[in-house]
Chain A
Amino acid sequence: MNSMIDESSSAATLRDNADVAEVLGRTYSAGFITQIEMTGLPPGLDEGTVRAISAIKHEPEWMTEWRLEAYRHWLTMPKPDWAKLKIDPIDYQAISYYAAPKVAPKSLAEVDPALLETYEKLGVPLHERAALAGVAVDAVFDSVSVGTTFRKQLADAGVLFCSMSEAIREYPEIVRKYLGSVVPTGDNFFAALNSAVFSDGSFVFIPKGVRCPMELSTYFRINAQNTGQFERTLIVAEEGAHVSYLEGCTAPKRDENQLHAAVVELVALEKAQIKYSTVQNWYPGDENGVGGIYNFVTKRGDCRGDDAKISWTQVETGSAITWKYPSVVLRGDRSVGEFYSVALTHHYQQADTGTKMIHLGKYTKSKIVSKGISAGRSSNSYRGLVKMEKGAEGARNYTQCDSLLIGKKCGAHTFPYMEVKNPTAIVEHEATTSKISDDQMFYCRARGISEEDAVSMIVDGFCKQVFRELPMEFAVEAKKLLEVSLEGAVG
């Protein structure tokens, strides 16, 4: 067995004679609050809370029991503390576990205009006429799904795309078969909590042989105060099915930290392909590190059949703290797992993110490309595990981790773990740490490009490999997001 742990930490200077402008605020354009009548549960968590959530959702008995089991397990679990994160203790009794607009819409036509406007402002129009061409959207507002577009077109193709609550009611046999089959209720502290109190999320089912005719997308929005968002997403692609899915996330600016603990499960059967992209822009807190979302998410895909493929692409610019390792279990022979990530931290943001590739099947392949950008006083860690089990004959992994430092007070860290139990497996790892050089800055400026535009351009070039993996319109969005997030990073 080979095992390797390597840590490289560094902090570098952009320019000796220029201080990084810590106080120049970035513009968080999604920071507004929607005024809408809400209903919800008071803060606090016990078995009664779990039952109440289940009751509000009119869930069947098995679901309630499933939640309660998770809750009881959660009570016995210690909080994870291995990540390179400084987290103030979270008072789980101070959080409200359910918040929803008072008037529950039955269809898109009935959605409160204030809500439609909210999504409009965020660039996610929910009217099908105005909707992003070729993208079906499920909008989750606090604890509930407020609308899903293009349902009829999808249904005609045999694709099921709806909120998780609805799926539990309408397609209980599918949900029961797959829910918790990738991320078991007791998988980790936050996954257990999510399993107990999850309120909504998206459900996607692509039947055998179907290529989903459009991009699917879920847009998560936290609005209510003192509320946690615990969504649960399940995507199942049957034999030979293909789907590309994108999630986007924002939250208002608030001074207190809010908890977001989601679970995403992907199941790809034989020859199925799932591409899952995330543009995460939760409120990151202000320039002094006050407020912001705690983003503690468990995402895992299971290539359950031979020749299946699961690909994660993430662009993470938000959240005060990110704790997230989208992973792939490569069970089927010749199955493929990919992870492409851009994680940007600024001010006092902390990110501990990466992936796990678990190779079980023969000739399985995985590829990891992680790009970390740190500015301000932020801390950005890549943590990845590549595991080649005994049966992973001829399996291969390639990992590339690049860190870019802007300013002199930030940190970048790389923690690659490798466990190889099959001698025919090949694991490759490359890591680089660089800073935007004075030479690059001067070259751009001598050509007429301003300092800030030069930084964006260089960062964009640094991320190119990952942006290429995003669906076209979101690549543009991701690029803009990085620009906004880097505002004031150089002074």
Chain B
Amino acid sequence: MLKIENLHARVEGKEILKGLSLTVNAGEVHAIMGPNGAGKSTLGNVLCGREGYEVTRGTVSYNGMDLLTMAPEARAATGVFLAFQYPVEIPGVNNTYFLRAALNAQRKTRGEQELDSMQFLKLVREKLKVMQISDELLHRAVNEGFSGGEKKRNEIFQMAVLEPKLAILDETDSGLDIDALKQVAQGVNTLRSPDRAFLMITHYQRLLDYVVPDFVHVLADGRIVESGDKSLALKLEEHGYAGLAGRQPAGAVA
């Protein structure tokens, strides 16, 4: 589904990604771990096409498409989703209205019928149940006045409604208390399916207790330096990232 080869990217003139390679297949859950400044969030932003992130070398192929040439909204329409580390507030714009506009914009781009308000409401109700999110959140403006936990849950809720193919979760676990973490994890687990892949960017192992990944990668200094299964995360938890310094890039992992 996703094949990243030798990706180099710069932010404000500074090279952050330095030859990152990664392959993700449908149905897989990959965890990307690593110390601060390793390039974890840059990877998410580059994959979603944020301006200011300049790719200098390498390729990203997603379901046969050259992802890097596509506009952010076009990437979204093909099923790429980013759960933001810092979800953005949009004052005065109703959360439900925003989500419906997003879903319909994607559907329109894909040549599908747009949902009318009744159909959309039905969909939202179904997803609300799954996400254990309160209605009240839907009537407020997008992320405005939300607590940190509410913002993160709202991201997962948006993901549930938009049903992406490739979901990138950028430190979705950070700043959550244990109850909120469990809720978010449960939401992610519900959405796991054979035709959907997850890229979970995280600092800590604890999310992985609840969402068990198929692969764990360590990102350090702009490259993937080690890959393994979930036991790698436990090892990291024990020894820290310091023990990984100076290792050779691990290359692509299937």
A and B: partners? yes
Q: Which residue of A lies closest to B78 (CB)?
A: A448
Q: Any chain A CB within 8 A of the CB of B15? A: no
The CA of A442 and the CA of B71, in the complex, are separated in Å by: 11
Interface size in chain B (residues, C-beta < 8 A): 33
Q: Any chain A CB within 8 A of the CB of B141? A: yes
- List CB contacts (< 8 Å) of A460-481 with chain B: 460-465
**Contact present for A453 and B105 (CB under 8 Å):** yes
Query: Chain A nearest CB: distance from B125 CB in Å?
Result: 20
**Contact present for A462 and B92 (CB under 8 Å):** yes
Q: Any chain A CB within 8 A of the CB of B73? A: yes
- List CB contacts (< 8 Å) of A317-356 with chain B: none
Query: Chain B nearest CB: distance from A85 CB in Å?
Result: 29
Q: Which of A439, A451, A453, A465 contacts B101 (CB 8 A)?
A: A453
Q: Any chain A CB within 8 A of the CB of B201? A: no
Q: Any chain A CB within 8 A of the CB of B84? A: yes
Interface size in chain A (residues, C-beta < 8 A): 26
Query: Chain B nearest CB: distance from A452 CB in Å?
Result: 10
**Contact present for B92 and A460 (CB under 8 Å):** yes
Q: What is the number of contacts between chain A and chain B, taking CB atoms within 8 Å?
A: 85
Q: Which of A15, A449, A453, A461 contacts B141 (CB 8 A)?
A: A461
The CA of A448 and the CA of B99, in the complex, are separated in Å by: 10
The CA of A248 and the CA of B43, in the complex, are separated in Å by: 51
**Contact present for A460 and B72 (CB under 8 Å):** no
Q: Which residue of A lies closest to B102 (CB)?
A: A447
Q: Any chain A CB within 8 A of the CB of B19? A: no
Q: Which of B51, B84, B101, B109 contacts A443 (CB 8 A)?
A: B84
Known: A461-B91, A465-B92. A446 touches B101 (CB 8 A): no
Q: Which residue of A lies closest to B83 (CB)?
A: A446
Chain B residues within 8 Å of A460, by CB: 92-93
**Contact present for B93 and A457 (CB under 8 Å):** yes
Q: Which of B48, B49, B91 has the most CB of A within 10 A?
A: B91
Known: A439-B88, A453-B101, A461-B90. A446 touches B162 (CB 8 A): no
Chain A residues within 8 Å of B142, by CB: 461
Query: Chain A nearest CB: distance from B75 CB in Å?
Result: 8
Chain B residues within CB distance 8 Å of chain A: 48-52, 71-73, 75-77, 81-82, 84, 86-88, 90-93, 98-99, 101-103, 105-106, 109, 141-142, 158, 162
A sample of 6 cross-chain residue pairs with beta-carbon separation below 8 angstroms, ordered by A number, consists of: A17-B51, A439-B88, A445-B72, A448-B76, A449-B73, A461-B91
